[in-house]
Structure 1
Amino acid sequence: MSDTASAKALAAFYQEDVTWVHHWNNTLFSFRCTRDPALRFVAGQFAMIGLMVEGKPLTRAYSMVSPPWDEGLEFLSIKVQNGPLTSRLQHIQVGEKVLIGRKPVGTLVVENLLPGRNLWMLATGTGLAPFMSLIRDPDTYEKFDRVVVAHTVRQVSELAYRQYITEDLPAHELLGEWASEKLIYAPSVTREPFPVQGRITTRIETGAAYAQTGLAALDPALDRVMMCGSEAFNADTEALVQKLGFVEGTNNQPGSYVLEKAFVTK
């Protein structure tokens, strides 16, 4: 790619400095970077992020883990050893550059939901990312009586941000009172011993999820659902809530559920 073409391609991105990297295990990591003051986003949205590879931007869609008020940006990523982007991104170091798209978008925003009683956030793996942003946005708590984060993973070490959700957030100076009163964390593990076993879809169907959270069964007239995970998870969960009578919300027409189709697999 010529210098002119490369500069043109880069115009769609901010170039930010990596400030922190944390590896949860051999398949999962998080990192933070600086944030241009001009970047604006709504909790739950994603941006195209990536690296310069052979003079060209190599990017994928990543939801912001960080809330809109955070001065930095944080992301949660899988590690795919032969993945075009994640095979490189997993080795990123503090001080290196990362590309951040200038126009965040996405459907996992509370504006796409009708007012309701309880908000259920259903996630697998790194699908937790947008919900980390949403549970640190005061707007989320102001609109719902209870906010449930139901995170299903294969191994216990994949329960990213577990300590933050259960210990740090309830003690947060500004958000702690809301989180302590309204936030319910409902993790489950499928392939290792853990107090709560099984996929969230199965747990909803059997009623185990309601026993775990102490909440009434999902009701499309009262409750709202957000989903983010693998394609298979999204398909199964969407079929489940549609069967219960939930209707998808969009930017133009709020509904009783929303799901994010942009999910990093490579």
Structure 2
Amino acid sequence: MTNYLTTDTGRRIAYERLEGQGPGIVFLGGFRSDMQGSKVVHLRDWAAAQGRAFLRFDYSGHGASDGVFEEGCIGDWAADARAAIEALTQGPQVLVGSSMGGWISLLMARTIPDRVAGLVTIAAAPDFTESGFWVGFSPGQREALMRDGRIALPSEYGEPLVVTRRLIEDGRDQLVLNQPLSLPFPARMLQGTADADVQVSWAMDLLDHASGEDLRLTLVKGADHRFSSPDCLDLIVATIEEVVQNVRE
């Protein structure tokens, strides 16, 4: 059942929550994704079968939440995530971050470390507004973005993707790879080698940059950015179970 949380910023966030044993699992979705995706539904079903607490939600401008996607930015969506975690869960949680959700999970580790018990990232895309969008733009695209406040890019996922100046400029305030990144809990990173959106080198950079005593990166040959084949879904579940088992009491 979909419920709604109104955050301190006034944004109305759609969420679904399962009560159960802890540590609970919080799924952080990707850019332009929603909580009805195949990965999160699979994990919801697994959590229900396990009797484990589970939270999924849509960032503002995504899915069933209020707001306009093109008006949002990483800082807004990170604030949504923090509000959901603080209001809708109890105690430290295992965060599962997919793509942009991987970036947001790292921001949660930085801003509310006492609420993070463990971390699983799937094709994590930290700092992608800078290292992906901005770096990849031509001089003409950069000029148009700064002049007009937005540009439209073709997308294989449907409608053209509008990238705004606000998204880029706010993204620079949310970077995690330009400063120390402590992950003092079990952290597992999953990455496909056939991912056309997130390079394997990004996963390696994240592993090299982060500090912690229990960090591992798993590369899956041939897996794409969706990372939602039956084998990939099984691997995500097994990885979460491993993290849960290694969470410090």
Point out the structure with max Rg over C-alpha.
1
Whether the TM-score (by the shorter chain) exceeds 0.5 is no
Give the TM-score taking structure 1 as reference length: 0.29
Higher relative contact order (CA 8 A, sep 6+): 1
Q: Which structure shows the bigger proportion of residues in strand conformation? A: 1
Give the TM-score taking structure 2 as reference length: 0.30
